[in-house]
Amino acid sequence: MDRRSFLKTTGVASATVTFGGLGRSALRGAEPAPQTVPAPSWVNKPVRWAQLTLVEDDPGKFDLRFWLDYFARTRSDAVCLSAG
């Protein structure tokens, strides 16, 4: 027996022993399961945003308590503050 025949025979024998008990579907590979990432709790409810735009002279006249109470009364989940 030459080297080529020996390698061919042992390769076929190894494959038969390894994959002999598996069905055709197992040899093709299983379909990957779709990966589902659990959604955060906030995506299942509406989110209320409030926006407050400040101007140049607001720092001297700005009533922080009023705006915090306003955001609480309107049940704002988030606030966007901008200044010009």
Contact 83, 52 (CB under 8 A): no
Number of C-beta neighbours around residue 71 at 10 A: 16
Give the pLDDT band of residue 73 (cuts 50, 70, 90): very high
* pLDDT of amino acid 29: 61
Residue type, 65: R
Q: What is the pLDDT of residue 74?
A: 92
DSSP string of 22-66? S-HHHHH-PPPPPP-PPPPGGGGS---EEEEEE-TTHHHH--HHH
Give the tens place of pLDDT for each residue, 11-24: 877 777 676 666 55
**Please, which pLDDT band fits residue 72 given cuts at 50, 70 and 90?**
very high
Read off the pLDDT of residues 33-69 as tens digits, 9 standing for 90 and up.
Answer: 678 888 887 778 888 999 988 888 777 788 889 989 9
Report domain extents, the chain.
45-84
